[in-house]
Amino acid sequence: MSRRKIIFGAIALVVATVLLMSGLLVYLLQSTLGDAAGAIRLFKALHIIKSRYVEDVPVDTLMTGAVKGMVNSLGDPHSIYMDPKMYKEFMIETEGSFGGVGIVLGAKDKVLTVISPIEGTPGEKAGIKSGDEIVKIDGQDTKGLALDEAVSKIRGPEGTKVTLTIRRGQETKDYALTRSNIQIKTVSGKMLPDNVGYIRISMFNENTGSDLAKKYQELEKEGMKAIVLDLRDNPGGLLDESVKVANKFVPKGPVVSVITRDGRRDTSTSNLEAVKYPCAVLINGGSASASEIVAGAVQDTGAGTLVGTKSYGKGSVQTLMRLDKDDAIKLTIAKYYTPKDRSINGIGIEPDVKVELPEHVQPGLEVKDVQLDKAVEIVKSKIQ
């Protein structure tokens, strides 16, 4: 075979491969978008910007922008694109530590809102509360700022400073905070008078279920006769860990059902043969997501009494999906339902016994914690 034929053959092979790959890519896009014109439009926009924009922009930058745009177009504050830095911080946080001021953020009516402060952190010590609206970060207006961008701006190395302008009701105030290394101990507790056990869960990370089991066992050895579970200002976390916790408080049967958009139902259950102790669960406006799973299961099964104020109302499930590099998409993939098939998304859970906490009192083991006092009163009345 002549050299010329070999060269032409090689060229033909390259062209065929390019056409095949292009066709495959268009097919994949078309099958996803359901529209060949949509796939072509995406390529055309990329070509126009890459070839005609006044400055040369890396393709990777353009594609990242496209991914961000797709996620932002969902209008879902819980679905976000995570760049490599944010993804790394998220994984560290899930493991139990990160640099920041210790507040969990969400968005209500497109306003950057504090879901809850984390106990013992600069944010909590400064007096930041669930429901506070963050209107500025270091003087920059947060209107139109994506949730992931806000989180990135507030977090930072230990010892650095950040100023948050917070609106609470009609008042606006600046909070100058020094970032610290946030070490999250999610489970704490002690024995209260009259053998009433008290366990507080600040959030649900990968160790919460096992840590709860240890604390529960300790209280049993001390002679526990009733228990108060404090989920106030608990922003949630890992769904699997909430199910592990529920297995100590909810009788055998469903704990939570996760339903995807195609109607597929996945139900997590409790294996607890019988509820062992009178129980009260404390909730408030900072109790969200995984904490609402536990609270909803306790309420629906009659395993205990909910005390406090209405919860946050986050009844959706997110999963983390890695992209081709060290970035990811956190995407809402389902909604969850309580054992009685209630969806609490955007609604929240009403307590069985409503008790408001005075403005100056933080949830926890405080003398004037009227919510805790009421919960203790309720469980003591049920001790046999």
Question: Do 62 and 55 touch, CB atoms closer than 8 A?
Answer: no
Would you call 287 a catalytic residue per the annotation? Answer: no
Give the C-alpha separation, 158 to 139, whole Å: 20
Alpha helix positions (H), the chain:
3-33, 36-52, 59-72, 84-95, 122-125, 147-154, 208-221, 239-246, 290-301, 370-380
Q: What value does the mean pLDDT of the chain take?
A: 86
On whether the CB atoms of residues 128 and 112 are closer than 8 A, the answer is no
Strand-pair partners of 265: 259
Question: Does pLDDT of 16 surpass 50?
Answer: no
Q: What SS3 class is residue 265? A: strand
CATH 2.30.42.10 occupies which residues in the chain?
A: 97-183
Q: What pTM was computed for the model?
A: 0.71
How far apart CA 126 and CA 121 sit, in angstroms, is 9
Contacts of residue 25, defined as CB under 8 A and 6 or more positions apart, other chains included, come to 39
162: its two tokens: 């950040």
Instruction: Please state the separation of Cα 95 from the chain's center in Å.
Output: 14
Q: Is 314 a catalytic residue?
A: yes
pLDDT higher than threshold 60 for residue 365:
no
**Poorest-pLDDT segment among 18-27, 130-139, 159-168, 327-336:** 18-27
Tokens of 339: 């054992």
Q: Contact, 199 vs 222, CB < 8 A? A: no
Residues 345/335, Cβ–Cβ less than 8 Å: yes
Which structure tokens are listed for 364?
């926890």
Residues of the chain with CATH 3.90.226.10: 187-381
The rounded distance, in Å, linking the Cα atoms of 219 and 235 is 25
287, 289, 291, 316: the active-site residue:
289
The string of pLDDT tens digits covering residues 273-311 is 999 999 999 999 999 999 999 999 999 999 999 999 999
Answer for the pair 289, 348: CB distance below 8 angstroms, yes or no.
no
Whether residue 79 lies in the annotated active site: no
Report d(CA 168, CA 111) in Å as an integer: 12
The yes/no answer on whether domain 97-183 falls in CATH 2.30.42.10 is yes
In total, the chain counts a number of residues equal to: 384
Instruction: Please give the C-alpha separations between residue 364 and each of 113, 153, 244, 349, 361, in angstroms, as whole numbers.
Output: 22, 29, 23, 20, 9
Q: Count of alpha carbons within 13 Å of 230, Cβ hemisphere only?
A: 27
User: For residue 142, which of 101, 179, 106 has the smallest C-alpha distance?
Assistant: 106
The catalytically annotated residue of 300, 316, 330, 369 is 300
Question: Does an H or E element contain 114, and which?
Answer: strand 111-117
* Range in 202-206, 231-235, 268-272, 324-328 the model is least confident about: 324-328
Point out the catalytic residue in the list 248, 314, 330, 374: 314
Say which CATH topology domain 187-381 has.
2-enoyl-CoA Hydratase; Chain A, domain 1 (3.90.226)
Using DSSP, how many helices (H) and how many strands (E) does the chain show?
10, 19
| Residues 354 and 308 sit within 8 Å (Cβ to Cβ) | yes
Asked if 293 and 311 touch (Cβ cutoff 8 Å), the reply is no
Question: pLDDT band at 24, cuts 50/70/90?
Answer: very low
Q: What is the DSSP letter of 275?
A: -
Provide the token pair at 137: 């970060």
**What average pLDDT does the segment 333-347 reach?**
95
Residue 345, CA distances (Å) to 111, 288, 317, 336, 349 in order:
17, 10, 10, 8, 9
Concatenate the DSSP letters of all residues of 350-370 into one string: --SEE-PPPTTPPSSS-TT-H
pLDDT greater than 60 at residue 361: no
168-208 per-position pLDDT tens digit? 989 999 999 999 987 777 898 999 999 999 999 988 988 89
Residues 6+ apart with CB under 8 A from 33: 39
CA distance 134 to 272: 42
Please enumerate in sequence order all residues whose Cβ is within 8 A of that of 71, keeping only pairs 6 or more positions apart, or say none.
79, 80, 81, 329, 331
